């Protein structure tokens, strides 16, 4: 009997969790977004930061929009690296519907190619943070795996089949200072399923390796986010002269009302 009582809590804690998008109307708060890159000692590291406030407002055609304001960069480099946050459009189900640019005193026309790049980046960020999770069911302690593509090296590097493993941890604090544990932590780790073929350049033979890990903390009943951390590691193996590259991008959200929950 004592043995059964001991395992019951573990069975209960492993109950499936279904994630549901239900952002409350007029959600507002602040955002801190940082990006850092560390390469070999021969290359200077990069550290950038931007902070801004945001408000969710009603948009046209039944859409909603997340509008940034009071954008502040820690230095001029941060502005160039991180770019200006856009107004994000989404529907009642959290499906990404496009972007709008913040109004500025100086009217500048965005090149169509740059517009497409900004749109794709905004869509990827939104989907990774919120959009892809609506209706998804995950069980703590039971990883979910699917096959995806993972690019190696630079943006123009080869893509390999990779295993994307998603795990969920329930009953975690939404923020470090929070006493209640009402959020979940989702971790998505992606690794190639097989080594990349050896390549050659002017310095000789080398191999590329990569790993990507995304950690998200959000409310399961609303998908209101509290933090997301994206870590990317790349390794160029050249025998004794390996090159290691690490990129870390982190965004934290502070909500103005305890009601980052749906009333």
Higher-pLDDT residue of 115, 12? 115
* Confidence category of residue 256, pLDDT binned at 50, 70, 90: confident
The answer as to whether 263 is a domain residue is: no
The answer as to whether 17 is a domain residue is: yes
Q: 195, exposed or middle or buried, with CB in 10 Å at 0-12, 13-18, 19+?
A: exposed
- 3-state DSSP assignment of residue 48: strand
pLDDT of residue 77: 80
Give the CATH number, domain containing residue 144: 2.30.230
Which residues have CB under 8 Å from 81's CB, separation 6+?
Answer: 35, 46, 48
Q: 175, exposed or middle or buried, with CB in 10 Å at 0-12, 13-18, 19+?
A: middle
- 3-state DSSP assignment of residue 68: strand
The answer as to whether 30 is a domain residue is: yes
The answer as to whether 156 is a domain residue is: yes
- For the ranges 80-89, 187-196, 217-226, 235-244, the lowest mean pLDDT is seen at 235-244
Q: Which domain holds residue 138?
A: 2-255
- How would DSSP label each residue in 95-155? -EEEEEPPP-SS--PPPHHHHHHHHHHHHHHHHHHTGGGTT-EEBTTB-EEEEEEEE-SST
The answer as to whether 10 is a domain residue is: yes
Residue 106 above 70 pLDDT? no
CB-CB contact of 211 with 181 (8 Å): no
Residue 28 above 90 pLDDT? yes
pLDDT, tens only, 132-143 = 999 999 999 999
Higher-pLDDT residue of 243, 188? 188
pLDDT of residue 132: 95
Residue of 61, 68, 128 whose CA lies nearest to 97: 61
pTM recorded for the entire structure: 0.84
Number of domains within the chain: 1
The answer as to whether 262 is a domain residue is: no
The answer as to whether 261 is a domain residue is: no
Q: Give the range with max mean pLDDT: 103-117, 165-179, 191-205.
A: 165-179
Residue 258 above 70 pLDDT? no
Region of 197 please: left (phi>0), alpha (psi -120 to 50) or beta. beta
What number of other Cβ atoms are within 10 A of residue 224's Cβ? 23
* Confidence category of residue 23, pLDDT binned at 50, 70, 90: very high
pLDDT of residue 179: 79
pLDDT, tens only, 196-230 = 777 666 566 667 788 999 999 999 999 999 999 99
At 176, phi and psi to the nearest 5?
-60, -35
């Amino acid at each position: 009997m004592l043995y059964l009582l001991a395992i019951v809590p573990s069975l209960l804690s492993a109950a499936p969790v279904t994630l549901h998008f239900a952002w409350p109307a007029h959600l507002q708060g602040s955002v801190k977004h940082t990006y850092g890159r560390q390469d070999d000692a021969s290359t200077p590291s990069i550290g950038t930061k931007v902070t801004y406030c945001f408000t969710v407002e009603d948009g046209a055609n039944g859409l909603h929009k997340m509008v940034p304001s009071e954008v502040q960069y820690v230095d001029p480099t941060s502005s160039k690296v991180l770019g200006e946050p856009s107004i994000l459009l989404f529907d009642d189900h959290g499906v990404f519907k496009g972007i709008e640019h913040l109004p500025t005193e100086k009217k500048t026309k965005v090149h169509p190619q740059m517009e497409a790049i900004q749109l794709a980046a905004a869509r990827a960020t939104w989907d990774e943070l919120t959009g892809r999770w609506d209706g998804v069911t995950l069980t703590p302690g039971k990883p979910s795996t699917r096959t995806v593509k993972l690019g190696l090296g630079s943006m123009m590097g080869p893509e390999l089949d990779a295993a994307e493993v998603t795990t969920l941890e329930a009953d975690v604090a939404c923020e470090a200072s929070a006493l209640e544990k009402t959020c979940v932590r989702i971790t998505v780790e992606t690794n190639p399923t097989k080594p990349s073929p050896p390549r050659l350049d002017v310095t000789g033979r080398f191999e590329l390796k990569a790993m990507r890990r995304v950690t998200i903390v959000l409310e399961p009943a609303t998908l209101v986010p509290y933090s997301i951390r994206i870590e990317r590691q790349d390794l160029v193996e050249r025998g004794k002269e390996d090159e290691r590259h690490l990129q870390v991008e982190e965004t934290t959200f502070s909500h103005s009302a305890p009601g980052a929950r749906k009333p």
